[in-house]
Amino acid sequence: MTRAYLLLDSNQIPDLHVRLFQMAPKAAPQALYLTTRYADLANIGPLLVAVEPNTALANTFAEEWQTRAGIWLESEANESDLIAHLRSLVHVQLEGGVSAFFRFYDPRITRLWLGDLPDAERDRLMGPVRLIRLANGLFIRQENPDQPSGQYAATPWLSLSTQQLEHLCQGKRSQFTQRMIDHCQRYFPQCLQGLDPQAQQQWAQDCQRNAARQGYSAEDEVMCWIGVYAYFGETFPDVPGHEVYRQVLAARNVTPQQRLDHLQDELTRQLMTGEVTA
C-alpha cells in the first residue's frame, strides 16, 4: 500500500510541531536527526510526517511550504525502512573526506540533485521512495522499485564531487536571492515596484555585488546591507554626499558587523533629520 509523507524543514517553518499538532493531532512526526550525531539539533532538522490528501496539513503544505521548506514523497515500504533511508542522507561526504549536512529535503536541492541523473543512479539514491512530488505539477519517479534502504553511519555513505556540489549550490543561491527579495518587498517595497521577477532577481544580485565590493559577502552581512542599498542604490558609497558612510566603512578598531551597525545608525539618523527621505 502506498503512503504519502511530508519531509519538512523545521528550520524554515516557525513553530512546526505546534502547527502539526493543530492540523493533524494524531500524527507521529519523526525527527531524522534523532539517533544520529546531530541529535542535539533535532528540533531544527528535517521532520517526516504521514499525510493524507485533501486535509488541512496537505493544503497547508501546498499553499505555504512546497516551494522552499519540504517535499511530498510516497512509498510502499515500512515506515521504519523509509525513515532509516532518509536518515542516512542527512549528511554527505565531500572531497577531502569532509562531512557536511545535506539538505536534500529542500525542493530546489531535490530537483537539482535527482532530476538529471541516469535512472539507475536515481533509483538507487531514492531507495524505498517511489515518487517525489514538487511544485507546479513536477515529480521525480523511481523507475525500478525494490531498491535497498540506506543505513545511517557516522561516516556518510553518500558522496558528492566538487562539480556536483557546485551544481547543488545553485539551489542555495536561488534560495538566498529569494530571501533578499522577500525582505525588500516587506521593508523597502518601493525598490522593487514595477519590476518583473527577473528584474527583481537582478536587483538582488546587484545588491550582493555592491556589498561584496566593501568586503561583505556572508548572507547575514548582505541582509544588513539591503537597508542602505535600498535607499542609495548602486552608486553607494562612492558619490558626493556619502562621505560619512565612507568614513564608517573605513573605521579601524571595530568589527565588520559593528561597521554595518553604524551604517544603519547613520541611515536612521539621516532619515529622522530629513537628510534623506524614505
Task: Give Cα 10 distance to the centre of its chain.
Answer: 11
Distance CA 178, CA 175 (A): 5
Are residue 75 and residue 130 in the same domain, yes or no?
yes
* Cβ atoms within 10 Å, residue 207: 25
208: in domain: yes
Q: Are residues 28 and 151 in the same domain?
A: yes
- Is residue 62 domain-resident? yes
pLDDT in the model for residue 4: 96
Query: Does a structural domain hold residue 278?
Result: no
Same domain, 52 and 71: yes
* pLDDT, one tens digit for every residue, the chain (278 residues): 899 999 999 888 888 999 999 998 888 999 999 999 999 888 888 999 999 999 999 999 999 999 888 999 999 999 999 999 999 999 999 888 888 888 899 888 898 888 888 899 999 999 999 999 998 888 999 998 889 899 999 999 999 888 888 777 776 777 788 889 999 999 999 989 899 989 999 999 899 889 888 888 778 888 999 999 998 999 999 888 899 999 998 887 778 888 899 999 999 988 888 876 54
Structural domain ending residue among the three candidates 141, 160, 179: 160
For residue 159, the 8-state DSSP code is: B
In a domain, 33, yes or no: yes
**Do residues 149 and 171 share a domain?**
no
215 and 122, same structural domain? no
Residues 6+ apart with CB under 8 A from 138: 111
90 to each of 4, 21, 34, 151, how far by Cα in Å?
20, 24, 11, 11
Assess whether 79 and 178 both reside in one domain: no
Are residue 153 and residue 174 in the same domain, yes or no?
Answer: no
Q: How far apart are CA 102 and CA 94, in angstroms?
A: 11
181 and 93 in a single domain? The answer is: no
My answer on whether 28 and 120 are in the same domain is: yes
Of 144, 160, 176, which residue is a domain's last?
Answer: 160
C-alpha to C-alpha distance for 233 and 210, rounded to whole angstroms: 9
Domain count of the fold of the chain = 2
From the list 203, 222, 202, the residue with the least C-alpha distance to 212 is: 222
Q: How many helices (H) and strands (E) does the chain have?
A: 10, 8
Q: How far from each other are the two terminal CA atoms of the chain, in whole angstroms?
A: 59
Residue 58: which domain range? 3-160
Residue 171's pLDDT is: 67
**pTM higher than 0.85:** no
